[in-house]
Structure 1
Amino acid sequence: MKIIETRDAKLLAELGYVMQDKHREMYPDFFKPYNEKELVYYFQELFKNPKQQVFLWVDDQKEPEQIAAYLWLEEEVVPETVYRYGYTRLYLHHILIMPTYQGNGLGKELLAFADNFAKEQGIPQIELHYWPNNEIAKKLYHQFGYEVYTEIAYKTITT
């Protein structure tokens, strides 16, 4: 596997269908249907911020080369408020492993990459969000030392 950074909005929009479909399957009332055009525009705007970075894991043993996974991260300063201290974090927006590459330890490799990236940049904390129905992700993050420190609850009001 080789790891390369990309700012290719069209490529990420194409890859986005995997994540969007998975999330929509779990939470159909929350997630919109996949829309490549909107995702291309979204990533084009996103990449105007140099703190947004996406890394691809490319299987260079395949012909043609195939994208096995991607990791979208952002260095972010969380400002201090009257209630809590400010801090700098590495926020993991997306961790996506393509279906044919799942179950082979690639998730651990992506998380180790994030750990090393944070260390090299002097970032003391990594944060991510995941959906409670995503049991595989929840287990992996726990094994990798992630701790839950906040939870969000919701209630639907019928009108």
Structure 2
Amino acid sequence: MPIRIEESKNAELLARLNYDVQDLHRQIEPTIFKSHSNEDMSKLFTEALKDKNVQAYVCYFDEQPVGYVLLGKRNLPETHFRYGYSVIYIEQICVKRSFKGKGIGKALIDTAKEYANKKGISRIELDFWSKNKKAGEFFSSQGFKTFNERMYILLDDCQRNGSRGN
């Protein structure tokens, strides 16, 4: 089956394709993520795609849209702590559940690499939810390395109010 990737400004299509990843995120972190809404996602993509530093690509498998990657060019200024640099950030990547394992994700990552090369940028970054082990394994298989980890703590009522729970 032939895979084809093309640039897209179709916010409605991206919103529909976003369903699986939004649903997965909601399963992983239901206190953070809302249920998918085509209307809300379409608005989000419409706004995002107005930015000249944002680009979306849709992957078609046998002429059916089955995934997308949303890329953002970020210019990080130099600070007292680090050098400045530019990066292509994979804001979102999604492959429909029924098409995983068919080379779609790899094709989208390859598209991100080509885009970075065209922009003269040698670094691509992304993030994913730690509980999404399959995503971590996939990104590692594509050459991505972990360089930063985030953690959190939820404070109970006693800690928030300054008491020690006595």
Q: TM-score by structure 2 length?
A: 0.87
Q: Quote the residue 2:48 is aligned against.
A: 46
How many residue pairs align between the two structures? Answer: 155
RMSD: 1.3
- Which secondary structure does the structure 1 equivalent of 2:18 belong to? helix
The answer as to whether partners of 2:59 and 2:104 remain within 8 angstroms in 1 is: no
Gaps of 5+ in 2: 158-166
- Which secondary structure does the structure 2 equivalent of 1:45 belong to? helix
The CA distance in 2 between the partners of 1:16 and 1:69, in whole Å, is 8
Q: Supply the AA of the counterpart residue of 1:138.
A: G
Identity of aligned residues (%): 32
The CA distance in 2 between the partners of 1:80 and 1:93, in whole Å, is 22
Match of 1:75 among 73, 76, 94: 73
The CA distance in 1 between the partners of 2:23 and 2:101, in whole Å, is 19
The CA distance in 2 between the partners of 1:42 and 1:109, in whole Å, is 24
2:27 pairs with 1:29 = no
- Which secondary structure does the structure 2 equivalent of 1:14 belong to? helix
The CA distance in 1 between the partners of 2:128 and 2:144, in whole Å, is 11
Gaps of 5+ in 1: none
Q: Quote the residue 1:106 is aligned against.
A: 104
Superposed, which structure 2 residues align to 1:145-156 within 5 Å? Answer: 145-156=143-154
Superposed, which structure 2 residues align to 1:49-60 within 5 Å? Answer: 49-59=51-61
Q: Supply the AA of the counterpart residue of 2:52.
A: P
Q: TM-score by structure 1 length?
A: 0.91
Q: CA deviation at 1:120?
A: 2.1
Q: CA deviation at 1:49?
A: 0.4
The CA distance in 2 between the partners of 1:109 and 1:43, in whole Å, is 21
